Amino acid sequence: MDIHALARNRSPKPEKHPKGTAARVLLSSVFGPYAQDDEFGSRSINPMELYHNQVTRAQGSFSLRMFHRSWGIMLIQKNISAPCTVLDFPTREDFARELTKNEYDVVGVSSIIVNVAKVREMCRMIRKLSPQSTIIVGGHVAAIPGVDKLVDADHIVKGEGVAWMRRYLGEDENAPIRHPAIVSGMRTRIMGIRLPERKGATAATIIPSVGCPMGCNFCTTSAFFGGKGNFVNFFETGDELFDVMCQMEKDLAVNSFFVMDENFLLHRERAMRLLDRMKEAHKSWTMSVFASANAIRKYTMQELVDLGVSWLWMGLESPRSSYAKLQGTDSRELTRQLREHGIRVQGSTIIGLEHHTPDNIVAEIEHAVSHDTDFHQFMLYTPVPGTPLYQQMQEEGRLLSDVDYADVHGQFKFNFKHAAISRDDSKRFLDWAFWRDFELNGPSLYRISRTLLAGWKRYKDWPDARVRERFAREMHRHSGVYSSALWAMERQFKKVDARVSAQIGELRQEFKRESGLVSRMLPAVLGPVLLWTTRREEKQLANGRTYEPPSILERRNWVEAGA
């Protein structure tokens, strides 16, 4: 019997669970391992990593490796009062064990589109191992047209999930949002070394909202939460945000924040109120944010620095694109200024826009690379279900019907017919863009060291103590390690590009002049160690080494459930 028949034979589940908040809930991300090719849609080129997947993937042992938790289900867990388990990055065995060990009334599976085959398998497992459970599927996978025919679920939830789950369990969906304590990254690794995980050393993730009102045609997050003109705010005001950040500062002992909001700076009133509160309370916080160029231009450099913005993810897309967010911006000049003020820039460029041809694409990539951002993401122009671009391509009959969803992630080949570039060439241009950025600009670790030093030199004697302290703190924490890494990079990068290697050497000397005694001495000891671990890592990567996130299980309200 196929799953369509299964779905038809089952009686429809009610819109509200009969047990209400007494229902036991399991929320799971899709199962791993991820960085391998398998029948469930895992792909070796699509690991569960942000930087190595789509930013630093050509940088070999210098690639930044780290994992991020599944924040959507953590947010839902924190905002329902039912007994709830979150299972993150399980193996199939972990998932099966949890389903049989506890009796769950509701099992929620969170997924993005590439992992739809895993959702199908997980639904099959739930029906078999926990037949009493209601199955809810949420996250971006819900945007696939006809997904209810692909997976055997009782409810498929499109858009924001906290309100939906609250409604389903009979709770007040408009109650204030409680923010979970989230450490932004884990198991960070670079140059063959895993960084120690000290409390407070890694930024806290803050989620002020989901969606983005700019509505760029390809943007899946904007489309999923309402499209152009819409988004869902969890924290409306700067005051609310300030309170959440104070809470996280206390719970996680952090003073830096990864702000998971597609366009944080667009909401100027909220950001400026947050700044007022930070100033009043003398908060010398650091913030990593996503923002479009038009939003960044609403602020002076000084305001950004005062806010503590130290890392900024900005869509550069293409110099000839017509996106409203880029109109009137000289993105190279903006990048240069940001970096001079100690703000690390992560650029994002699209390969395969409609106007791209084999004749102009190289120049466009060279233009992107000439921004010399600290990090650069390259992504294929990709019509993703749910977006205006997908609808347009469908209407024009240009979608390729034989592409597996597991390969629709923008890091492999086109999933549509491009007017001038073939599928195979799309991959070649994409791979070349990553390589060119690395070859010309060097490892991102070198570039972020350079931006930190620029900020330090500019702000070390600044009258506002909050700003001064922030740069001093970063310099104090990192200068010894960065100098040592530069020592090793200078040597290792010689074989890639002697010119960049010499630049790395110059920066190392500058660090030496600006650092304290310990940091000046450290490279003599730590440098050779890092060179050795870097070379060992190169060898292991060449032998096919991959990394997987750990499986994590967290329960909430569980004691009250009597388990």
Binding site for ligand SF4 (CB under 6 A): 212, 214-216, 219, 221-222, 262-263, 292, 315, 325
The site string for ligand B12 over 389-428 (x = CB under 6 A, - otherwise) reads --------------------xxx-----------------
119 vs 489, beta carbon nearer ligand B12:
119
Q: Which does 283 bind (CB under 5 to 8 A by kind): ligand B12, ligand SF4, none?
A: none
Calpha distance 372→453 (Å, rounded): 16
* Min dist. Cβ of residue 323 to ligand SF4 (A): 7
Q: How far apart are CA 493 and CA 490, in angstroms?
A: 6
Q: Using the minimum distance from each CB to ligand B12, give the nearer residue, 172 or 359.
A: 172
Q: Which of 52, 120, 140, 418 binds ligand B12 (CB under 6 A)?
A: 140
C-beta of 218 vs 299, nearer to ligand B12: 218
Under rule CB under 6 A, residue 153 binds ligand B12 = no
Which residues have CB under 8 Å from 358's CB, separation 6+?
A: 420, 421, 425
260/526 with CB nearer ligand B12: 260
Q: Shortest Cβ distance from residue 78 to ligand B12 (Å)?
A: 11
**Count of residues touching ligand B12 (by CB under 6 A):** 43
| Sites for ligand B12 among residues 173-192 (CB under 6 A) | none
* List of long-range contacts for 173-178, beta carbons under 8 Å, 24+ apart: 175/79, 177/75, 177/79, 177/234, 177/235, 178/78, 178/79
Name residue 342's amino acid. G
The binder of ligand B12 chosen from 112, 151, 345, 421 (CB under 6 A): 112
Q: Among 93, 84, 74, 76, which Cα is nearest to 32's?
A: 93
Main-chain dihedrals φ then ψ at residue 249, nearest 5 degrees: -60, -40
What does 162 bind: ligand B12, ligand SF4, none (CB cut-off 5 to 8 Å by kind)?
A: ligand B12
- CA-nearest of 12, 27, 169, 4 to 556 is 27
To the nearest 10°, report the CA torsion of 54, 259, 173, 107. Answer: 40
Taking CB under 6 A as the criterion, the residue among 56, 220, 321, 534 binding ligand B12 is 220
Closer to ligand B12 by CB, 191 or 384: give it: 384
What values do phi and psi take at 46, rounded to 5?
Answer: -125, 60
Give rounded-to-5 percent helix, strand, coil for the chain. Answer: 45, 15, 40
Query: Which residues, numbered 56-95, are part of the site for ligand B12 (CB under 6 A)?
Result: 68-73, 75
Place of tokens 């899946």: 220
Residue 85 contact, options ligand SF4, ligand B12, none, Cβ 5-8 Å cut-off depending on partner type: none
Q: Is 133 in the site for ligand B12 (CB under 6 A)?
A: no
- From the CB of 160, what's the least distance to ligand B12, in Å? 4
Taking CB under 6 A as the binding criterion, the range among 126-134, 136-144, 308-316, 324-332 that sits at the site for ligand B12 is 136-144
Query: How many whole angstroms separate alpha carbon 517 and alpha carbon 142?
Result: 56
361 binds, among ligand SF4, ligand B12, none (CB under 5 to 8 A by kind): none
* 215 scored as a contact of ligand B12 (CB under 6 A): no
Stretch that binds ligand B12, among 12-20, 50-58, 293-301, 471-479 (CB under 6 A): 50-58
Angle between helices 465-492 and 444-459 (to 10 degrees): 150
Strands 256-259 and 286-290: parallel
Residue 263 interacts with which of ligand B12, ligand SF4, none, CB < 5 to 8 Å by class: ligand SF4
Q: Should residue 162 be labelled a site residue for ligand B12 when binding is judged by CB under 6 A? A: yes
Q: Residue 110: name the closest of 211, 222, 224, 26 by CA.
A: 26
Shortest distance (Å) from residue 349 CB to ligand SF4: 12
The nearest distance, CB 214 to ligand SF4, in angstroms, is 4
315 binds, among ligand SF4, ligand B12, none (CB under 5 to 8 A by kind): ligand SF4
Q: Which of residues 348-387 bind ligand B12 (CB under 6 A)?
A: 384
CB 245 within 8 A of CB 237: no
CB of 516 vs ligand SF4, minimal distance in Å? 40
72 binds, among ligand B12, ligand SF4, none (CB under 5 to 8 A by kind): ligand B12
Give the residue, chosen from 31, 95, 104, 164, that forms a contact with ligand B12 under the rule CB under 6 A: 164
Is-contact 473 284, C-beta < 8 A? yes
Instruction: Answer yes or no: are the C-beta atoms of 70 and 157 closer than 8 Å.
Output: no
Give me 202's structure tokens: 């890694």
Structure-token pair, residue 290: 């996503």
Selected binder of ligand B12 within 29, 85, 479, 515 (CB under 6 A) = 29
Q: Which is nearer to ligand SF4, 53 or 449 (CB)?
A: 53
Report CA-CA distances (Å) from 282 to 167, 269, 287, 313: 40, 20, 15, 26
**CA separation for the pair 558, 563 (Å, rounded):** 6
Measured in Å, how far apart are the chain's first and last C-alpha atoms?
36
- Within 64-191, strands assigned E span 65-67, 84-88, 106-110, 134-138, 155-157, 186-190
Per-residue binding letters, 257-276, with ligand B12 (x by CB under 6 A): ---x-x--------------
Nearest approach, Cβ of 427 to ligand B12 (angstroms)?
Answer: 13
Give 305 or 312: the residue with its C-beta nearer to ligand B12.
312
Nearer to ligand B12, 121 or 262 (CB): 262
Closest CA to 491 of 531, 439, 443: 531
Of ligand SF4, ligand B12, none, which one sits near residue 365, judging by CB under 5 to 8 A according to partner kind? none
Sign of the Cα pseudo-torsion (26, 13, 126, 403, in order)? negative
Interacting residues with ligand B12 (CB under 6 A) = 27, 29, 34, 46, 48-50, 53-54, 68-73, 75, 108, 110, 112-115, 136, 138-140, 143, 157, 160-162, 164-165, 207, 210, 220-221, 260, 262, 384, 409-411
